[in-house]
Structure 1
């Protein structure tokens, strides 16, 4: 059943893709679907848009709806495909697809938003600590 679903996904991606796309490119599109890279990018843009909405509460809802139409997952995937093509061979992509289809890969995709959020908080704390030490050293040197 899983093989059938994967084959159907691959066929759907291939059908929607340009006739000039190579097997590697089509596989990269499958990989992007499996690894969530496009979804992560979309979530980032949605968070950014939410921040703008908070900063500009008087802007009409219709404007925010129009702005939300400026971005979509397919356009982002189109930007990511050439990057993946440059850095990964078709064999690499096949291996990554196998990983992301595994239980460990699925868990990675599921947990990555949590890991990213917690890592950002940890990084912020780390950066603030370093900045405080730098300020202290600079202030000490200026006395």
Structure 2
């Protein structure tokens, strides 16, 4: 029973569909690969992030599904997830194949070259380094703003509902 729960949960979590034929030409693929590498989105980096996330999720699923789990199950889980992620993302290039059409849709080869050139400058390197931090800090600031205005929105909407006779 616990094996079928584990297999079902793993299948559900790990079943992502690849989509659309990839018609990105070879030159653009090479440029996109360089850009992904520059921005910390190499197959190895993304594979590690996927592995860590899947291991964490599946560990929680296992712990919630059974009280008495053989500790070796967690080792097996981690080993197999890492092997599958390495096979699919690093060796078979599944992540890049998903990213090629996305970048290709939004950027020409000339634009990709300009981005790569920019990323090779000191400013570009700094931008790549700090943008994730800015994004994170921006999300936290947005949460703070939401907490600040949330009660005001609730109060005003509740008062309006009351005025309009809405229960």
Which band: TM-score by shorter chain? Answer: 0.5 to 0.7
| Higher Cα Rg, which structure | 2
1:129 corresponding residue in structure 2: 148
Instruction: Check 1:136–1:45 CA distance in 2 against 1; reply closer, same or farther (3 A cut).
Output: farther
In structure 1, list runs of 5 or more residues that go unmatched: 1-19
2:105 corresponding residue in structure 1: 86
Where does 1:1-143 land on structure 2 (aligned, <5 Å)?
Answer: 21-38=25-42, 45=50, 48-49=53-54, 52=57, 55-56=60-61, 58=63, 60-71=74-85, 72=89, 74-143=93-162
In structure 2, list runs of 5 or more residues that go unmatched: 1-23, 64-72, 163-167
Shift of 1:135: 1.2
CA RMSD of aligned residues (A): 3.0
Separation in 2, partners of 1:62, 1:41 = 21
TM-score by length of 1: 0.66
Provide the aligned length of Structure 1 versus Structure 2. Answer: 124
